[in-house]
Amino acid sequence: MAAAARARVAHLLRQLQRAACQCPTHSHTYSQETCSQFSNTSYNCLFLSYGAGVTKEVGMDLQNMGAKNVCLMTDKNLSQLPPVKAVMDSLVKNGINFQLYDNVRVEPTDTSFMDAIEFAKKGTFDAYVAVGGGSTMDTCKAANLYASSPQSEFLDYVNAPIGKGKPVSVPLKPLIAVPTTSGTGSETTGVAIFDYEHLKVKTGIASRAIKPTLGLVDPLHTLHMPGQVVANSGFDVLCHALESYTALPYHMRAPALPTHLSTAYQGSNPISDIWSIQALRIVAKYLKRAVRNPDDLEARSNMHLASAFAGIGFGNAGVHLCHGMSYPISGLVKTYKAKDYSVDHPLVPHGLSVVLTSPAVFTFTGKMFPERHLETAEILGADTRTTKIQDAGLVLADTLRKFLFDLNVDNGLAALGYSKADIPALVKGTLPQERVTKLAPCPQSEEDLSALFEASMELY
């Protein structure tokens, strides 16, 4: 009798599952029965080592890899600071020869990439170490790739439509990433982003092959970061988590992607969701503390971990409109120079360029999978108990505005020097980013993009 009862319960549960509402506006879960494109998802990750002082292990790690001659990449600002010194000390202690390249550009360009590539080609390196933020890690990925494929032209591996988007068919050298900022999650991804100067637009290289071999996530390196750098880096984590969690589900995307791109642009899925939501919870709890108190090791440690978590999340799902729209915002920068960044050129930090459009974007996408939008708003502090489901996007947008206001974020794109007259150029710069914009949960026209940029001119 008990067995029969259990069988009946199981049958009823299966029937309920099949009868669940298939409309994404009213269903928190993704029904795969009505989405005929793809029914499988894949997961790709790397080895991470996390903990205070873990950088001291880099020499031993390289020794275990059999490395004897290493290319160490960083930027001018970091080259004299403790993170790089810790790496050098470990290399010397373990008898690893190395050459230092410290000419990485913050927000790299194709020109700065090629300078690093030429340095790498001239050496006989059997491994690479990147110490820095996303700019350094991405530059090092590119150097490793093109030094391993010296006959390739630069645009061969650059994402289409700007480049040829060829798959990587050559073996690369081991690359150890030591992140010193808590934002890009580049230590976990097979993506390298840069400004393509000829078109004044951001693009990148995407391939599993360029993913670091090992990431050493050492929270001690975050203590040197100024508050505004912490904030802007944290905004990148925030949007990585939000965008990957609200992206078009993996079984609804089309068409099929090449194998080397399928994981990074497959859409939200049950595996990436776990990492993205946990990263968002950490951001909600610790980002403001990390910005306001440079000595709060607990907050900064957790944000460093959140960066890696969000990187794993979006690296196995993708991002969408906030990132797609951010590339022309930073690529078309006029005279804006962000506080706390020691650079000799106008600069809109990546995280800032991403987050300024987030209220407009999530107002726009909220009609699709609204319960996911409400869930993220609640994690960020919103009281959603009496919220109507059709207001999900608005609630998340208002929650984000308050979050940004509390951290003294510039009041929209106008504060960066943009005006309505710049919107056509901003839209034009977004259009080539189809690989990410197509992952938005709802399609968008050029008119939609124009409206989103206009709505982002002022936030408060």
Regarding whether 181 and 245 lie in a shared domain, the answer is: no
The answer to whether residue 406 scores a pLDDT higher than 80 is yes
CATH number at residue 356: 1.20.1090.10
Regarding whether 275 and 216 lie in a shared domain, the answer is: no
Regarding whether 432 and 340 lie in a shared domain, the answer is: yes
Could you tell me if residue 307 is inside a domain?
yes
Cα–Cα distances (Å) from 54 to 59, 86, 141, 355, in that order, read 11, 10, 21, 31
Two structure tokens written together for 34:
């009505």
Could you tell me if residue 3 is inside a domain?
no
- Residue 255 preceded by cis peptide, ω within 30: yes
Could you tell me if residue 386 is inside a domain?
yes
The pLDDT tens digits of the residues spanning 139-167 come to: 999 999 999 999 999 999 999 989 999 99
The answer to whether residue 257 scores a pLDDT higher than 80 is no
Regarding whether 233 and 216 lie in a shared domain, the answer is: no
Say what the pLDDT of residue 20 is. 39
Cα–Cα distances (Å) from 114 to 78, 132, 179, 196, in that order, read 21, 18, 22, 11
Q: Which helix (H) or strand (E) holds 442?
A: none
Regarding whether 439 and 381 lie in a shared domain, the answer is: yes
| Banded model confidence at residue 259, pLDDT cuts 50, 70, 90 | low
Regarding whether 213 and 234 lie in a shared domain, the answer is: no
Regarding whether 108 and 248 lie in a shared domain, the answer is: no
Regarding whether 384 and 360 lie in a shared domain, the answer is: yes
Could you tell me if residue 155 is inside a domain?
yes
Could you tell me if residue 443 is inside a domain?
yes
Q: Which helix (H) or strand (E) holds 388?
A: none
Burial zone of 50 (CB within 10 Å; 0-12 exposed, 13-18 middle, 19+ buried)? middle
Could you tell me if residue 213 is inside a domain?
yes
CATH number at residue 177: 3.40.50.1970
User: How many domains is the chain partitioned into structurally?
Assistant: 2
Two structure tokens written together for 28:
């928190």
> What global pTM score does this model have?
0.88
Q: Which domain holds residue 165?
A: 47-221
Could you tell me if residue 365 is inside a domain?
yes
Regarding whether 280 and 202 lie in a shared domain, the answer is: no
The residue behind tokens 């050459």 is 99
Could you tell me if residue 19 is inside a domain?
no
| Banded model confidence at residue 344, pLDDT cuts 50, 70, 90 | confident
Regarding whether 426 and 293 lie in a shared domain, the answer is: yes
3-state helix, strand, coil in the chain (%, to 5): 50, 10, 40
The answer to whether residue 28 scores a pLDDT higher than 60 is no
Regarding whether 278 and 172 lie in a shared domain, the answer is: no
Regarding whether 201 and 59 lie in a shared domain, the answer is: yes
